[in-house]
Structure 1
Amino acid sequence: MTSLRQKALKLGAPWLCAMAVASSGAAVAAPPAKAQTAATKGTTAFSTETVVERARALAARPYQAPPKSLPKAYTQLNYDQYRDIRFRPERAHWRDAGLPFQVQFFHPGFLFQSPVVMNVVEAGRSQPLRFSQDLFSYGKVVNKASLPRSGVDGFAGLRFHHPLNRPDIFDELAVFQGASYFRSLGQGNLYGLSARGIAIDTAQPSPEEFPEFREFWLERPASGAGQVVVHALMDGPSITGAYRFTITPGSNTVMEVQATLFSRRTIDNLGVAPLTSMYLFGENDRAKFDDFRPEVHDSDGLLVWTKDGEQLWRPLQNPRQVRTSSFRAETPRAFGLLQRDTAFHNYEDLEAHYERRPSAWVEPVGEWGAGAVRLVEIPTPDETHDNIVAFWVPDAPLTPGTPLRVAYRLHWGARSPWESTGGVVTSTRITSAITPGMPVGEGVTPATRRFILDFSRTARAEDGPVEAVITAAKGQVLRSTIQRHEPSGGWRTTFELEPEGTSEPIELRAFLRRGSETLTETWSYLWIP
């Protein structure tokens, strides 16, 4: 089965993710002004502060939506036609120079009706890249003759290529396309979740805003460079921003993000370093889906690593209505949406290969201050919509005249960037506490649910008895047990929850300990009777 979303992934287009319901570093000094030479003609001086000052100046003026300047024939391209327009790999930027990174661009049109300006930077000078139909091949379903060769002054986005998996093949590494969306891959990954520059008023009564990256500057990497740098200018009704991305490919690809943000109004619900993903069902809530696949999701849980060292694991859910959860986190050590389950037999999808979707960890750099990690879960009937959003919200609002400088690292890949400090939750299963033909335990009603949690192996649990600590904000926890999970070498704990007549959501927590020593992360779950 090939969904619209899966087709879009082949395009490298995160625009399907835009469901309505991200301390700057030192500036790079610009070269001294001098007379134009043949080498500098048509170029302008550029530094990191160039983008910052552009963003500052934009914020001081009323917002102007980007002009819809594309010729009509471009805007009328349908999905199949747009998909049949492809960048010519032999025309990739920097290809002829033999550099370790190459850049390809996306054709404007279809949903992308406001072309994005592209520039290249070399030796402190910036020069624009011009759109040309010669950069693209047009398939049989496209009437190329109907597309004017003039009147187009930009692209729909860009993607970086690099020998990520093999030294002789330039694989896709990162994509920037659609509003302020971008995404990346570690070795062996396929595209899954996305990131955004910023989130504004997500899951609030007021409409959510989607600021856009209006212009990019690509720094030419040195021969043999291990990383590539791209700058972006963001603009939206309430905010502007200057971004610098340093992308280092590897088993986990790391993006160092530096952003300077300016607001046109007071913003109370600012989502910093937002991640967007898809969760349809997993082992904890698959009952309502008649599907041959055991699980369908790009991410299966939210990890929050607090400043005091506690690690929280919140399994994702596909709720009946929009649900928002907040986790207090002053300058968290990390948070992220993870695809922890990487076994093919847990998905059985030969096309989507959800087991190869990357996780994304956000690692703050510097002090972020007081705030909370917020998780938004949106109901979805299928896998074509991204319905999960996670970001950090500062307690202090962003106000006009006071810029916010924020820095973080984004780690994209299949493995945690940090050594494990204890056991982690590997599965969450929920079933009725009543088993046909078996005796019913005391206090068990039709509403009683049984939870089965598996934790990974932890060397610290080898000596002495292990205890499962389970708490419920409401209701009653009954018959908790713990035993070794012999196939994995880890632990399994089970318990029953009796809601005691409440229809309100119930917060559950569980972890393993030996004496006073905590052995695992904390499982955190919101059960809705």
Structure 2
Amino acid sequence: MRQNISRRGFLKSASLLALGGTLLNVARVVPAASKGLRLGRGQVFSYDALIKRAADMAKAPYQSPPKPRPDIVQQIDYEAWGNIRFRPDYALFADGPSAYPVTFFHVGQFFQKSVKMHVLEHGVAREILYSPDYFSMPKDSIARKLPNDTGFAGFRLQESRKRDDWRTQDWIAFLGASYFRAIGALGQYGLSARGVVVDCAEPTPEEFPDFTEFFIEGAQKENHPVSIYALLNGPSLTGAYRFSIRRTEGVIQDVEAVLFLRKDVARLGLAPLTSMYWFSEAEKRQREDWRPEVHDSDGLAIWNGNGERLWRPLINQPFAVTSSFADKGPKGFGLMQRDRSFENYLDGVNYERRPSLWVEPLDDWGPGAVQLVELPTDDEIHDNIVAYWRPEAPARAGESYRLRYRLHWLADEPYPAHVARCVATRIGRGGQPGKPRPKGVYKFSVEFAGAALDPLWGDTVKAEPVVTASSGTISDAFIEPVPGTRRWRAIFDLTPNGSDPVELRLYIRGNGDALTETWLFQFRERPTA
């Protein structure tokens, strides 16, 4: 995955750039996509040329993206920003030729940097020039004081023009730093993806590189890919991205990224995902909230290079905690929302419909680790979960990385395992009902569901839980069916030895074979109220 970009690619880019003067006459033709929008002068574009730009930028000092009139933008708070809406009639591709129109976000208090937008047709890119006329806003909006060259904060793809509701329904959005998100198969936004992670959960402040320019090439038909190209810039690195995005049952997004490091990076995270987890059935504290559960994702799933399926329930940690799952050539990983029962949320914000997001490497990523960062939170407004791939080799200045992967924004994993999966983790006091409960002993009930457990209903399979702990003592382990369901649960008691966290590992074995994925959990004692 880590490699030097070939000289042939640079030469190809240089050749295309040299043709610019010849092709600019063609570029002056007004494209069909531009109705109602003001466009800049045409420039020849290629992905190879974008890669060269990123490589050249990495050799120069970092320059932050422009922030138009910070004194005004800072006053466009969340409520004021929400009242500024892009007029659909001005949408890029509103009348074709692409199947999916594009609308744009205004700058505001939380999105203060302006991002250049370009429409790309027939290898020619034209910048989409900002105008306040594109937006409807209240007459007294502070945004009316911004200059005419303010620029946009981001963009989103609307549903197909064949749909009557395309003006109000979108399916993928790029907004803020290098963040982007898409709806899943259940038609709801939730967690986000990012271009890259730089020094997350390090002693030094995290760095948030920006997508500073986008080049948008429409899809001629529904189900055909929309191509998005993006230039990334940050104090420690630069990058060029190519997204091929298809609107399917959910959203499928092929990503190609080339990164160049300006500086050493202590923690480089590739193909990162960001989500929110407050509490679930596993660890809700007394009187924390009236709802049973609140989370965009409830666990990290990993299909490692050896073929083992792992499930790590998310935890609202008391402080920043990073867990590392070493691997070589992973088959995939993702932040999943497995609990789809409305009764477990009882909220109108549709947590039961939030998408799961799976990362599928499209080439060999070599040795490294899937890392999970869990930050503490006391509310649902904070994204406190990050998962990404960290290469084993140190990230040094002058290095370059090229990687390809596919993002699956769906309701579930795109490649279901043949073993049963974990569907609930419950923790309580250890010991037996009706008897004095021993202090400092905790009971775990881990529920599994799937066809692989069907033989347990007969007498042909001898099954048992396989439980290990990094410290402490495991006792009273057994399995039993969950009444009224087709689920089985593994139950055991843990007696910790000291205050250090305990790494737990569990699966159900039948006739010598694993019948379930491997459940992982990091347990630490903490106050219950």
Both proteins in one fold, TM over 0.5 = yes
Q: SS in structure 2 opposite 1:276?
A: strand
Q: SS in structure 1 opposite 2:49?
A: helix
1:40 aligned residue = 28
* 1:247-285 Cα shifts (integer Å, max 9, x gaps): 111223111110000001122310011111111110010
* 1:4-53 Cα shifts (integer Å, max 9, x gaps): xxxxxxxxxxxxxxxxxxx9999898595525436536211111112111
2:177 aligned residue = 179
| Mapping 1:178-327, distance limit 5 Å | 178-224=176-222, 226-327=224-325
C-alpha distance in 2 between matches for 1:186 and 1:267: 33
**Aligned-residue offset at 1:430:** 0.3
2:335 equivalent to 1:337:
yes
* Residues 313 and 459 of structure 1: CA distance in aligned 2, closer, same or farther (over 3 Å): closer
1:497 aligned to 494, 498, 520, which one?
494
Is contact 2:190-2:355 (8 Å) kept? Answer: yes
| Mapping 1:436-451, distance limit 5 Å | 438-440=434-436, 445-451=438-444
Q: SS in structure 2 opposite 1:406?
A: strand
Give percent identity, aligned residues only. Answer: 41
2:514 aligned residue = 518
C-alpha distance in 2 between matches for 1:224 and 1:275: 27
C-alpha distance in 2 between matches for 1:477 and 1:297: 30
**Aligned-residue offset at 1:434:** 4.5
* Residues 127 and 333 of structure 1: CA distance in aligned 2, closer, same or farther (over 3 Å): same
Give 5+ residue unaligned stretches, structure 2: 30-40
2:425 equivalent to 1:428:
yes
Q: SS in structure 1 opposite 2:352?
A: helix
* Residues 157 and 342 of structure 1: CA distance in aligned 2, closer, same or farther (over 3 Å): same
Give 5+ residue unaligned stretches, structure 1: 1-22
* Residues 71 and 264 of structure 1: CA distance in aligned 2, closer, same or farther (over 3 Å): closer
Give 1:270's aligned amino acid: L
C-alpha distance in 2 between matches for 1:261 and 1:38: 32
2:364 equivalent to 1:367:
yes
* Residues 201 and 366 of structure 1: CA distance in aligned 2, closer, same or farther (over 3 Å): same
2:63 equivalent to 1:64:
yes
C-alpha distance in 1 between matches for 2:287 and 2:238: 42
1:456 aligned residue = 449
Q: SS in structure 1 opposite 2:328?
A: coil
C-alpha distance in 2 between matches for 1:421 and 1:515: 16
C-alpha distance in 2 between matches for 1:260 and 1:276: 21
Is contact 2:101-2:160 (8 Å) kept? Answer: no
Is contact 1:71-1:148 (8 Å) kept? Answer: no
Give 2:79's aligned amino acid: D
**Aligned-residue offset at 1:135:** 0.9
2:527 equivalent to 1:528:
no
C-alpha distance in 2 between matches for 1:181 and 1:288: 34
C-alpha distance in 2 between matches for 1:81 and 1:486: 51
Is contact 2:428-2:444 (8 Å) kept? Answer: yes
**Aligned-residue offset at 1:231:** 0.6
| Mapping 1:82-101, distance limit 5 Å | 82-97=81-96, 99-101=98-100
**Aligned-residue offset at 1:65:** 1.8
TM-score normalised by the chain length of structure 2: 0.89
1:78 aligned residue = 77
Aligned residues between the structures: 498
**Aligned-residue offset at 1:399:** 2.6
Give 2:445's aligned amino acid: I
Is contact 1:132-1:149 (8 Å) kept? Answer: no
C-alpha distance in 1 between matches for 2:112 and 2:236: 21
**Aligned-residue offset at 1:83:** 1.4
**Aligned-residue offset at 1:485:** 2.8
C-alpha distance in 2 between matches for 1:59 and 1:510: 46
2:129 aligned residue = 130
**Aligned-residue offset at 1:494:** 0.7
**Aligned-residue offset at 1:461:** 4.6
C-alpha distance in 2 between matches for 1:85 and 1:423: 47
2:399 aligned residue = 402
Is contact 1:186-1:249 (8 Å) kept? Answer: no
2:468 aligned to 454, 468, 471, which one?
471
C-alpha distance in 1 between matches for 2:340 and 2:428: 23
Give 2:448's aligned amino acid: F
C-alpha distance in 2 between matches for 1:472 and 1:35: 66
C-alpha distance in 2 between matches for 1:448 and 1:407: 46
Q: SS in structure 2 opposite 1:416?
A: coil
* Residues 141 and 482 of structure 1: CA distance in aligned 2, closer, same or farther (over 3 Å): farther
1:120 aligned residue = 119
Q: SS in structure 2 opposite 1:283?
A: coil
C-alpha distance in 2 between matches for 1:284 and 1:423: 19
Give 2:499's aligned amino acid: S
Is contact 1:461-1:514 (8 Å) kept? Answer: no
C-alpha distance in 2 between matches for 1:256 and 1:279: 26
Is contact 1:84-1:141 (8 Å) kept? Answer: no
TM-score normalised by the chain length of structure 1: 0.89
C-alpha distance in 2 between matches for 1:300 and 1:137: 38
C-alpha distance in 2 between matches for 1:229 and 1:240: 20
Q: SS in structure 2 opposite 1:37?
A: helix
1:356 aligned residue = 353
C-alpha distance in 2 between matches for 1:240 and 1:397: 17
2:141 aligned residue = 142
C-alpha distance in 2 between matches for 1:405 and 1:70: 36
**Aligned-residue offset at 1:187:** 2.8
Is contact 1:212-1:234 (8 Å) kept? Answer: yes
Is contact 2:99-2:218 (8 Å) kept? Answer: no
* Residues 396 and 224 of structure 1: CA distance in aligned 2, closer, same or farther (over 3 Å): same
C-alpha distance in 1 between matches for 2:97 and 2:25: 26
**Aligned-residue offset at 1:148:** 4.2
1:509 aligned to 502, 505, 509, which one?
505
* 1:210-245 Cα shifts (integer Å, max 9, x gaps): 001100000132244522010110100000010111
Is contact 2:184-2:354 (8 Å) kept? Answer: no
